[in-house]
Every structure is written in structure tokens, then in C-alpha cells.
Amino acid sequence: MTEIETLQELITADDVKRLHDFATAAPEPYNPYSDFGVLAVVETIDDRLYAGVNVENANYTLTKHAEEVAILLAIMDGAIQRNGRGFIKNIFVAGYGTMAPCGGCRQFISEFAFSGTVWIGLNRHDKSVLIDYFKTLLPLAFGPGDLGL
């Protein structure tokens, strides 16, 4: 079985709809400066869901991305696993554009993902969906394993 076949078995259209529905039930993004609203959902390995939205700041460097917010909510709820083991099973992001994560989010996600974590990006304009293993979005990532964990 190839990775693509594995992905098709792991993530179905119903899964994408379930994650999208959970994301859209979250509060609206706070994006008065860019008008680029992003919704994210982290699904943990024990099937809990956490939604996040981007929260902009006039000083753009202080802006929080939806992926970060969802991950932080999961951590605050105790989802983190110690010793370098990831807890993110799936991460879903929806917005109006190509929904591949920015470099900073890739590094942030890699801290809490594992080799089987699946990335799902939904472009809400054209309804196109990107599904791939997260590890392909940040190959050779620096993470807990590099620190001996």
C-alpha cells in the first residue's frame, strides 16, 4: 500500500466535512488588517477537536495564526504528550487562498506532530483540498528528536 492509498483510507470526504463543520462553528477570525480569515482544527490522537482562528495585531509580528491557536487550546486542555511524542492526528485549515501553512506554522506544528500526522488544507474560494502527510510539508524538520527526546 502506498502513502497516497493510506491517506485516502485515513481521510475521507466525510472527515473533511466534519472538520470543516467544527471549524466554522468557531468564532470568526479577527482579521481587520489583512481581511484574510483562517480557520483551523487540530484533531488529537485520542479524537478530541480544537478549533482556532487567526487573531491579527496592528504589529503583524504579534499576530497569532489559526494553527497556533488551535494547538495552544489543545495543550491547555492537556493534549500534549511528553518526551517528544506528537499528539496531532490531523490538522485542518480553511481560508480564502492556498492553504499550505506558512514557514513559522510548519515549525510550530512539527513540535507536536508525528510522522503520521495528516495536513488538510481547504481553499474556500474554489473548494480545492490539499491532503498530505505533514512531514512532506517540512522535510528534515528540527524537533524534539534533535534534542535527544
Query: How high is the pLDDT of residue 4?
Result: 46
pLDDT for 43-65, tens place per residue?
999 999 999 999 999 999 999 99
Domains (ranges, CATH) in the chain? 3-27+36-135 (3.40.140.10)
Distance CA 56, CA 45 (A): 29
Banded model confidence at residue 16, pLDDT cuts 50, 70, 90: confident
Digit-coded pLDDT (tens) for 123-142: 988 988 888 999 999 988 88
- The reported pTM is 0.88
Where would I find the H helices in the chain?
3-10, 13-24, 66-76, 103-110
Give the model's pLDDT for residue 71. 96
